[in-house]
């Protein structure tokens, strides 16, 4: 059992990230008075439940409506390269 500060140091992350995991993402903790403790076994179980595989999706080509004034100049070609 570790305090939030010790846990953040061992995982090499900030305390703010651990607080976000606790309050927004439901990382289980033990609270005794004002002190908050994290069990490593609870963290490992929580981490395995929150794993996600993100697959790369091919990007769709976007067609933009370009005003007629821009079509004659090189602006349109530059805009198409950017977007």
Distance CA 63, CA 66 (A): 9
**Whole-structure pTM value:** 0.58
Q: Share the mean pLDDT of the chain.
A: 80
User: Quick one: which H or E segment has residue 3?
Assistant: strand 2-3
pLDDT band, residue 65 (cuts 50/70/90): low
> Mean pLDDT throughout 60-72?
61
Predicted local distance difference test score (pLDDT) of residue 14: 92
Question: Which tens digits make up the pLDDT trace of 35-58?
Answer: 999 999 999 998 888 887 777 776
Residue 3 φ then ψ, to 5°: -75, 165
């Amino acid at each position: 059992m570790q305090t939030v500060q010790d846990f953040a140091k061992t995982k090499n992350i900030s305390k703010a990230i651990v607080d976000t995991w606790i309050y927004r993402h439901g990382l289980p903790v033990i609270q005794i008075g004002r002190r908050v403790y994290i069990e490593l076994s609870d963290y490992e179980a929580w981490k395995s439940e929150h794993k996600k595989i993100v697959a790369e999706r091919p990007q769709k080509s976007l067609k933009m409506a370009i005003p007629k004034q821009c079509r004659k100049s090189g602006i349109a070609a530059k805009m198409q390269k950017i977007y």
